[in-house]
Structure 1
C-alpha cells in the first residue's frame, strides 16, 4: 500500500471537494481503494493470529464509504478527508478502527455512543465488576498509550438505576466507551506500521473483550 500516494490523493481531494473532480480522478481513487482493501485483507489475516476470539473482517466489509452522509450532515463536504475501516467487527460488538487521513491518523477501538440496550448492558457489567475495567484502563502501559477513555459527552448525574455514590460512578456516566491513539503521518509511512498496529491492538485487546463480555450478558 502506497500511503504517500494516498495522502497526496486525499490532500488534492480536500482542495477540490466536488463530484466533478472525483469523477475526473475516479480511476486514481479506485486504485487506492483497491490497494487499501488488499492491505486490510493482509492485516486481517495477521490480526486473526493474535487472538482466538478475533472476528475475521475482510477489507471490503471493513472499509468505510468515502462519501459523507449529507442527509444527516448537510454542511459537511461531499467527501471525507480520510480512508477508514473497522476490523474485528463482530455484530453488536466493539471493533478496532483504523483511520488514515489528511488531518489525522489514528487507531481506536470500543463503542462510540452505543444504542441504549448495549449501553445499559455495559453499565450493568461495570456495576457487577467495575474493578476489572479499572485494572485494565489504569495499567501503566495502557495509560501511556491511550491516556484514558475517549472524552465524549457524559451524564451530569448517575444513569437511571444507579446512585451518585456508586463506587464506579465516573465510569457509569460515560456514553462512549472507547480509546484512541493519534498517529503522526511519519508513523504510517514507516515500514513497520503493521507492527505498530499489532502492538496497539494487543494493548487494547483486554479492554475490547471486557466491553464485549459486558455487552452480550
Structure 2
C-alpha cells in the first residue's frame, strides 16, 4: 500500500472537505481504497494464524465508509479524514450491530496510525454482560490486565467516560470495580508514521493486534 500517498490524500481532504473536491479526486480515492482493502485482506489472513475465529471475516465489510453520518452532528463535513477497518469474528464491525470484540486500526490525515483491540462503547445490554463477566471471572480478567505483552504495548485499558459511582447492581467492593465503571473495554496505541513510513505496515499492525489478543479472547467469553 502507498501509505505516503494515502496520508497526503487524507491531508488534502481535511483541507477541502466538500463534495466537489472529492468528486474531482475520486480516482485517487478509488486506488487508495483498493490498496487498503488488499491490506485488510492480508491482515485477516495473518491474524487468523493466532486467532482462527476471524478467518471468515469479510474484508469489504470490515472497512468503514468514508462518508460521515451527519444526521445528528453539528459538524456537516461530508467525509471522514481516516481510512479505518474493524476485523471481528462475527463479521459485524459496529458495536450497535452486536459486532463483539474487534481488532481496529486507522490512519488519519495527520499521519497517525492507531491500533486497538477490544470493545469500544458497547451498547448497554452488552456492557452489562461484560461487567458481569468481570465479576464471574475476576481471576481471568486479572490475568489479562497483567499480560506482559499487552502491558508493554498498551499499558492499561483506556478510560473512556468512566462512571464516578459503580453502575446499578454492582457493589462498590466488587473485584475490579474501577474497571467495571468503564464504558469501554479496549486498549489502543498511536504512532506517528508521516515522517517515517513503516517498511511493512501490515506486520506492525498485526503485531499490535497479537498483543491485544488476550483481551479480545477474554471478551468473547462474555455471554
TM-score w.r.t. length of structure 1: 0.92
Q: What CA deviation, in whole Å up to 9, does each residue of 1:80-116 have, x standing for no partner? A: 1110001134153101001011233200121111111
- Partner SS state of residue 39, structure 1: helix
The number of aligned residues is: 215
Cα offset, 1:15, TM superposition: 1.2
Report the Cα distance in structure 1 between the residues aligned to 2:45 and 2:195, rounded to whole angstroms. Answer: 21
Report the Cα distance in structure 1 between the residues aligned to 2:219 and 2:37, rounded to whole angstroms. Answer: 27
In the alignment, structure 1 residue 206 sits paired with structure 2 residue 214: yes
Cα offset, 1:188, TM superposition: 7.7
- Partner SS state of residue 133, structure 2: helix
* One of 137, 147, 154 as aligned partner of 1:139: 147
Report the Cα distance in structure 1 between the residues aligned to 2:138 and 2:121, rounded to whole angstroms. Answer: 19
Matches within 5 A, 1:54-93: 54-90=54-90, 91=92, 92=98, 93=100
* Partner in structure 2 of residue 33 of structure 1: 33
* Partner in structure 1 of residue 180 of structure 2: 172
* Partner in structure 1 of residue 95 of structure 2: none
Report the Cα distance in structure 1 between the residues aligned to 2:206 and 2:84, rounded to whole angstroms. Answer: 17
Matches within 5 A, 1:45-60: 45-60=45-60
In the alignment, structure 1 residue 98 sits paired with structure 2 residue 105: yes
Report the Cα distance in structure 1 between the residues aligned to 2:196 and 2:145, rounded to whole angstroms. Answer: 25
Q: What CA deviation, in whole Å up to 9, does each residue of 1:137-186 have, x standing for no partner? A: 22333222112111211111111111112132111111111110112215
Q: Which runs of 5+ in 2 are unaligned?
A: 93-97
- Partner SS state of residue 106, structure 2: strand
* Partner in structure 2 of residue 13 of structure 1: 13
Q: Which runs of 5+ in 1 are unaligned?
A: none
Alpha-carbon RMSD: 1.7
* Partner in structure 1 of residue 199 of structure 2: 191
Report the Cα distance in structure 2 between the residues aligned to 1:192 and 1:185, rounded to whole angstroms. Answer: 12
- Partner SS state of residue 189, structure 2: strand
